[in-house]
Amino acid sequence: MYQTVIVIDFGGQYSQLIARRIRENHVYCEVLPWKTPLSEIAAKNPLGIVLSGGPDSVYAVGAPYTDERIFSLGVPVLGICYGAQLMVKELGGKVEAAESEGAREYGRTETIFSEGCPLFSGVPGRSVTWMSHGDYVSALPKGFSVCAQTEHCPAAGFQAPSRRLYGLQFHPEVRHTEYGAQILRNFLMEICGAAGDWDLSDFSERTIRQIREKVGDKRVLLALSGGVDSSVASVLLSRAIGRQLSCVYVDHGLMRKNESETICRYFGSLDMDFHMADAKDRFLRALSGVSEPEEKRHIIGREFINVFKEEAAAIGGADFLAQGTIYPDIIESGQTGGQVIKSHHNVGGLPEEIGFTEIIEPLRMLFKDEVRALGRQLGVPEEIVSRQPFPGPGLGIRVIGEVTEEKLETVREADALFREVIAKFGLAGRIDQYFAVLTDMRTVGVMGDARTYSRTVALRAVCTDDFMTADFARIPYEALEEASRRIINEVSGVNRVVYDISSKPPATVEME
C-alpha cells in the first residue's frame, strides 16, 4: 500500500491542483470533501494532511470547517489560504477582514521568508508568491511563529514545528509562486517523510478490475469525441469488457476542419462497436439565436444527452454511460464545492429518465498529462495521445455570440491556417494548445482601396503542464504576421486578427 497524503477540499478553485502537485512528487494522495468525518480520515492512516483554499470567510455563516481534533492526529498538517486561516481560527488565533482595498492581495506578491523554517529550505529570502485573499491572520495561536510575510500580510507563513503544523496564506500549488514546487516538496519529503514511490504503473490494471466488477455482463455506451480523454477511456474500457462497449461519436457540426472524417476513419478501423451519429443540423437548430456562453454549453450538453439516449435505444440499450471526464472538468464545473468557472457537458450527472444505471468515468481522478501517460502505457497511437485538448462544445464556444454555419466555416478555416503556420515555424511541440476564435466584433478596414466592415479573429496559444494554470505562448512576430496575413487574405469576411496575451488565471484557456 502506498503512503497517502490527504487533501481536504474546502471548495477552492485550486484544490485538485494541490493533488496534482503532490503526485508530481510521486506521492499518492486522495481528495476528500471537508465534511468527511475525522474517523474516516484517520482510517486512511495519512502521512500528511493538506487543507485547501476556499472562496469563503472562516467567520461566514455556513462556511466550511473541520474537526479541531485533526490538528492532534500526530501527522503534519499544511493549511493553504482558507485552510491556513481555518487552522488559526480553530486553534485560538484571530482572522480579520482587510480594512482597505490595498490591504487585500491578489496576484503576484513579493514575499519575505525567514530562515529556519523547513518549509522554505532551498527557497531564497525573497521571492514572488501568488496571493488571493481578502481576510488575513491578525493574531497567531499560542505556540505558532511567523515565518513569511509581505507588505500587507504580517503572517504570510507560520509554523508550530513541535506540532508539525504549518500555514501559508499564498498558493504554492500555482506556478506563479516561484518556489511553490520546492515548498510543497519540502512539506512532503522533509516534514512528512514521504518516500515518493507512487506512479501510474498499476492504475490501468486496478481500474480494469474495478470496471469488470461494476459492469459484469452489462453493456456500456461511451461518448467518443476522438480527443485524448475519451480515446484513452475507450481503450481502457475495451480492455476491460471488450465488445460489451459501444462507442458513439456524435458529429455535432462543431468540429475543426476535416476532424470528423479523421475520427470516423481511425476508430471505424478498430475492433470495437463504433457508431457515428450525424447530428449537425440538430445542434445548429438548437443553438439558433443563442449568444450567452453558458446557455450554449447547456444546450450542447442537453443535446448530447438526447442523442445518446436515442443512440442507446438504436444500439439495443446500454446500462452504463462512460465518459472521459478528468479532474479539470470537475473543478471548473464546481463539482468539488468550488465556484463554477465554466460548466462542462460531461459533468453533472444524468437525468433519471435517460435510462442509464450509472456513469462510468475511469479518468475522473487524473490530470491531462497523467491521461497521456496512461494512454502511452495502453499503446494508444501518439497522434491521439498528443492531440491537443478540444472542448466538448467544440467550435460552439470558439464562435463568440450566436453560432451559424457561416461563422463555423470562418473559424474552421482561420483555425486551420493558424495551425499550418505554427507547424511551419516548428512551434507545434512547444505550445500546448493553440486555436482561432471568431469574435463578435466587427471593425473598419481597407482592402483593395475600399472600406470594409468585417469580422475580427482572435488567436490564442498557451503553454501549460496541467491546464489549471497557463501562460500565453511567446510566438515570434514573424509567425504571427504570417498567420494574420494568410487569415485576412484567405478567409472571407475577416479584416483583422488579434493575439490574446492573457494568462490563466485570471483568464481561462478558452474565451467562452
In a 3-state reduction of DSSP, which class is residue 219? coil
Report d(CA 108, CA 20) in Å as an integer. Answer: 21
Report d(CA 490, CA 469) in Å as an integer. Answer: 34
Show Cβ contacts of residue 373 under 8 Å, excluding neighbours closer than 6 positions. Answer: 200
Burial classification of residue 295, based on how many CB atoms lie within 10 Å of its CB (0-12 exposed, 13-18 middle, 19 or more buried): exposed
CA dihedral 384, 390, 394, 400 (to 10 degrees): -150
DSSP string, 23-56: HHTT-EEEEEETTS-HHHHHHT--SEEEE---SS
Report d(CA 259, CA 87) in Å as an integer. Answer: 51
Q: Is 60 left (phi over 0), alpha (psi -120 to 50) or beta?
A: beta
User: Are the C-beta atoms of residues 309 and 351 closer than 8 Å to each other?
Assistant: no
Report d(CA 15, CA 470) in Å as an integer. Answer: 17
Cell numbers placing 98: 482587510
Query: 135 vs 80, 84, 104, 415, 425, CA distance in Å?
Result: 13, 11, 7, 44, 47
Q: CB pairs under 8 A, 24+ apart, for 424-427?
A: 424/479, 424/482, 425/476, 425/478, 425/479, 425/482, 427/473, 427/475, 427/479
Q: Which residues are catalytic?
A: 81, 171, 173
**DSSP element (H, E) containing 109:** strand 105-113
